[in-house]
Structure 1
Amino acid sequence: MNAHGLSSADGDGGPALFRLVRFWSRRWINSASEDQTGETRHVQHILAVEAVDTGKETTEEATVGTVAHQLGLDHSGASRIVKDATKAGYLVRASSEYDRRRASLQLTAHGENLLAGSRQWQRHAFDELTVGWDDHDRRQFASYLKRLADELGI
């Protein structure tokens, strides 16, 4: 039982959540990457700009460690993604204001455009998935998704 007196089986939200994640995780990112970068192999660029942008909202600055946390990767994996996104012109590295041993990551204008396109694509996907829902249900579902992401710091 949780604080509201419900067991996880009452709404069966856990299995439903993971069915959605499993079904959409590869489909959406490949489609978004092709739409935004022209190639499905550039998925990591979208992941990098999303992680840097989200990381800036939850920490004083985005770093490779922030990207690692946001993407659930080890430091070396995140470092490779950051290096590739920097080489592609989506990110720049600068000296950290807080710790000279770290690099602060920022989006370039090209990265900002990729992020904006990705977010537009995400809103469109949400609208398509909930097209048959009334406005109240769509807003409520969106608020629950945002609440969950905010509480997780992602």
Structure 2
Amino acid sequence: MHTSSDGGPALFRLVRHWARQWAPDVVERFAADAPPSWTVPNLFVIQAIAGATGDEVTVADVARQLGIDRSVASRMVSEAAREGFVVRATSTRDARRAVLTLTEAAKGFLEASQAHQRQAFDALVGHWAEEDRERFAGYLGRLADEVLG
């Protein structure tokens, strides 16, 4: 039986495992016929915009969500915009700022990645009792919300 003191080491073992799995070719694993624009950096930008709160999402919000420098986030957003995933518009509150919105193509990419994530979760714990799967999913969601906001 595992105790709560085993939680830290187990968490870091999982983080190391998933960090190795999240290679640049990860997109190919969930969509072999995916377009070349379905890259990990584009997915990160899409997820950051989708997960941001507030009525105007900016590059600064993407940088904050991803934990990266604003200039790096700006380059990533520019690439995602070139690939047709992000639309930039002028802020109604501050004409110096660009507001970011997702295109339908971005929403399709996000839905495909989330379906893959659900399949990965099911592959890991699908053999558990439904009650245990639901409880674990709830705890994971709670942890993500508390850590990532």
Q: TM-score range by the shorter chain?
A: 0.7 to 0.9
Greater helix content: 1
Equivalent residue, structure 1, for 2:19: 25
State the SS of the aligned residue for 1:60. coil
Question: Residue type matched to 2:49 in 1?
Answer: V
Q: Partners in 1 of 2:78 and 2:38 — Cα distance?
A: 15
The Cα of 1:148 is off from its aligned counterpart by 1.5
The SS at the match of 2:16 is: helix
Decide whether the 8 Å contact of 1:93 with 1:104 is kept in 2. yes
Structure 2 counterpart of 1:54: 51
In the TM superposition, residue 70 of structure 1 has moved relative to its aligned partner by 1.3
Q: Can you give the 5+ residue segments of structure 1 that lack an aligned partner in the other structure?
A: 1-8
CA gap of 1:105–1:48, structure 2 versus 1, over 3 A, is same
Q: Secondary structure at the match of 2:56?
A: coil
Alignment partners' CA distance in 1, 2:59 and 2:18: 26
Change in 2 beyond 3 A, CA 1:49/1:138: same
Superimposed CA distance per residue, residues 43-92 of structure 1 (whole angstroms, 9 cap, x where no aligned partner) = 1011111111001xx33332111111111110011111101110000111
Q: CA deviation at 1:39?
A: 5.0
Within the candidate set 44, 56, 65, 2:60 is matched to 65
Instruction: Give 5+ residue unaligned stretches, structure 2.
Output: none
TM-score in terms of structure 2 length: 0.85
Count of aligned residue pairs for this structure pair: 144
- Aligned letter for 1:138? R
C-alpha distance after superposition, 1:95-154 (max 9, x if no partner): 123332211111111111101111111111111111221111111111111111222344
Using structure 1 for the length normalisation, give the TM-score: 0.83
Taking the aligned partners of 1:98 and 1:65, their CA distance within structure 2 comes to: 15
Q: Which runs of 4+ in 1 moved over 6 A?
A: none
The amino acid across from 1:54 in the alignment is G
